[in-house]
Structure 1
Amino acid sequence: MDDKTPREIIGRRNRPAKAPLSREVIVATALGILEKDGMSGLSLRRVATALDTGAASLYVYLANLDELYSLMLDQALAAVKLPKAGSLSWRDRLKKYLLSYLHVLYGRQGLAQLAMSTIATGPNSLRMWEVLLGLLKEGGVADAKLVWGVDMLLLYVTAVAAEKSNWRATGQDFGRVKSALSAVSAEQFPLVSALFQGEWLSGMGDGDARVRWALDGIIDGIKANRMPLPDPST
C-alpha cells in the first residue's frame, strides 16, 4: 500500500446505531448466551459485552443477577402449552401440561439448571401456578394441599429435565450402564439382576413413559395423603 494513500477512519458516529437497552433486550440476549454456553457462561458482564455496553448500565433495568435469572425463566415459560379440555380428564390435562413444561426446559441448554435454582414470579410463572392449582382443585384435591401438591409436581418435573439435560451435555453412555447391569451377580444381588434390565432403562432416555408413571404416583399421593398436623413443640 502506498504510504501516501489516505486511510479511511471510521469514527464512533459512523458505526451502526445500537439497539436501545431494555429489559426485553437484556433478557433475550441472556437467553441466547444461556443456550449457547449454559449457566457457566452467563454473567452480567457477559451480557453487557454482548450488548456492547458496560455492566453498570444493566443495573438501570435489573437489581442483580438473580432478577435476571427470574426474568429469563419467566420468559421461557411462555412456551408451556395448556392442552384444550375436549374429552380429556383433569388428570390427563395436568400430565400433558407438565410434560409441556418438561419439554420446554429440556429444549434449551441450561434452562433446566436455571429452573432448579431460580424462583420466577412473573406473569408466565403465575399463569402456570394458576393452571396447576386449578387442575388439582378440579380433581378434588383439598385447598390445604394444593400449594404443596403443585410444588411437588414442579420439583419432580424440573429435576427430570435437569437430569436429562445433564445426560445430554455429558454424553451419558447407556450402553455402558446396560453392560454393567447385565453382569451383576444374580446370587449376590438377585433383585438388581432380575429387575434392573431393559425395562428399567427403557424409561431413562427421551421417552415420557417413566415421567407419566411417576406423575400418576405423585398425583395419587397428593390426593390420598393427609397434611401433617402442627408440631406442638414449635
Structure 2
Amino acid sequence: MTQIPAPPWRKTRKASAPRTVLSRDLIVATGLRLIDAEGLDALSMRRVAQALDTGPASLYAHVANKEELLELIYDEVMSEIRVPEPDPERWLEQIRELIMQAFLVFRAHADIARVGLATIPTGPNGLRVAEGQLAIMLAGGVPPKSAAMMIDRLGLYVCSDAYEGSLYVSRQRGSGKELGEFMSEFFGQIATFYRGLPVDRFPNLVARIDDLMDANGTERFEFGLDLLLRGLVSHIREAGPTTKD
C-alpha cells in the first residue's frame, strides 16, 4: 500500500542518533586509545567523556575516579601478555620470552608503564601474569624467596625501561618529527658532543663513543634482562638440589 505523505504544515521530529551504551569495558578501551594517541597526561575523565559524547558524571556510574580508571587500563594492557604453562625443561627460556613480550606490550602503549611503578598487581590480568611467572620459576627449581623477589625486580625493570622509551616519544611529539628521524638526530647530537669532550679528562668516553651508542633500545633491554636471569640461575646453584615430597 502506498504510504500517504505527511501534510506540509506538520513538523516531523528528526530521528536522533542512538546513544552509545556506556559500560566499564567501553570506558577503559576509550581511555587506552586516548593514552596511546596522546600520552598518559592527556587522560582525564572529561576527555574520556568527550570521546564518548557524554558528560563526565555519566562515567562515575561505572568507574569511581581517574585512579580506578588508570588501574583498569593498566590491567587491560596486561591482558595482552600471554603466559605459558610451566615447562621445567624450558623454564629459563619461558621467563625470558614472557618478559620480552611484556616489554614490547608496554612499549606499544605510550607511557602506561608509569602506572606500573610503585604499583602492586591487584587486577585479574596482573595477578595472572604474576602467578604465571612464579609458577614457571618454581617449576625450574628457583628457591621460593628468590622467585618472589624476582617478580618484583623484573616488573620494575620492564616498567622503568618502557617508561624511559615513552619519554623519548613524548619529546618526539613536541618536535613535529617522525620518531626515527627524531631519535637519529638526538643521538647524533649526543655522539658529536661526546667526541668533542676533552680527551685528557674523559679518554675512555671519547675513545668508546661508538661502543656506547652501538645498540638500540631492544638490544639494551635484552642485555640487562640476560644479566638478571644469569643472576637468578645462580640462586639455584647456591641453593643446591631440592628434595621433593
TM interval, shorter chain, is 0.7 to 0.9
Residue 71 and residue 84 in structure 1: after superposition, are their counterparts in 2 closer, same or farther (change >3 A)? same
Task: Find 2:211's aligned residue among 199, 218, 225.
Answer: 199
AA of the residue aligned to 2:198: S
CA distance in 2 between counterparts of 1:99 and 1:156 reads 11
1:66: Cα distance to partner? 1.2
TM-score (norm 1): 0.80
Equivalence for 1:26: 27
Task: Find 2:227's aligned residue among 175, 194, 217.
Answer: 217
CA distance in 2 between counterparts of 1:50 and 1:209 reads 37
Residue 95 and residue 56 in structure 1: after superposition, are their counterparts in 2 closer, same or farther (change >3 A)? same
1:138: Cα distance to partner? 2.9
User: Pairwise mapping of residues 98-137 of structure 1 onto structure 2 (< 5 A)?
Assistant: 98-116=99-117, 118-137=119-138
1:129: Cα distance to partner? 0.5
Comparing 81-90 and 181-190, the one that deviates more: 81-90
Does the Cα contact within 8 Å between 2:40 and 2:111 map onto a contact in 1? yes
Residue 82 and residue 183 in structure 1: after superposition, are their counterparts in 2 closer, same or farther (change >3 A)? farther
1:153: Cα distance to partner? 0.7
Structure 2 gaps of 5+ residues are 1-7, 173-182, 236-245
User: Pairwise mapping of residues 82-101 of structure 1 onto structure 2 (< 5 A)?
Assistant: 82=83, 89-101=90-102
Q: 1:175 and 2:188 equivalent?
A: yes
Larger radius of gyration: 2
TM-score (norm 2): 0.77
Structure 1 gaps of 5+ residues are 226-234
Comparing 104-113 and 215-224, the one that deviates more: 215-224
Does the Cα contact within 8 Å between 1:94 and 1:132 map onto a contact in 2? yes
Fraction of identical pairs, as percent = 30
Does the Cα contact within 8 Å between 1:70 and 1:118 map onto a contact in 2? no
AA of the residue aligned to 1:199: D
Task: Find 2:199's aligned residue among 180, 186, 200.
Answer: 186
Equivalence for 1:63: 64
1:57: Cα distance to partner? 2.0
1:23: Cα distance to partner? 0.6
Residue 187 and residue 33 in structure 1: after superposition, are their counterparts in 2 closer, same or farther (change >3 A)? same
Residue 9 and residue 50 in structure 1: after superposition, are their counterparts in 2 closer, same or farther (change >3 A)? farther
Comparing 99-108 and 50-59, the one that deviates more: 50-59
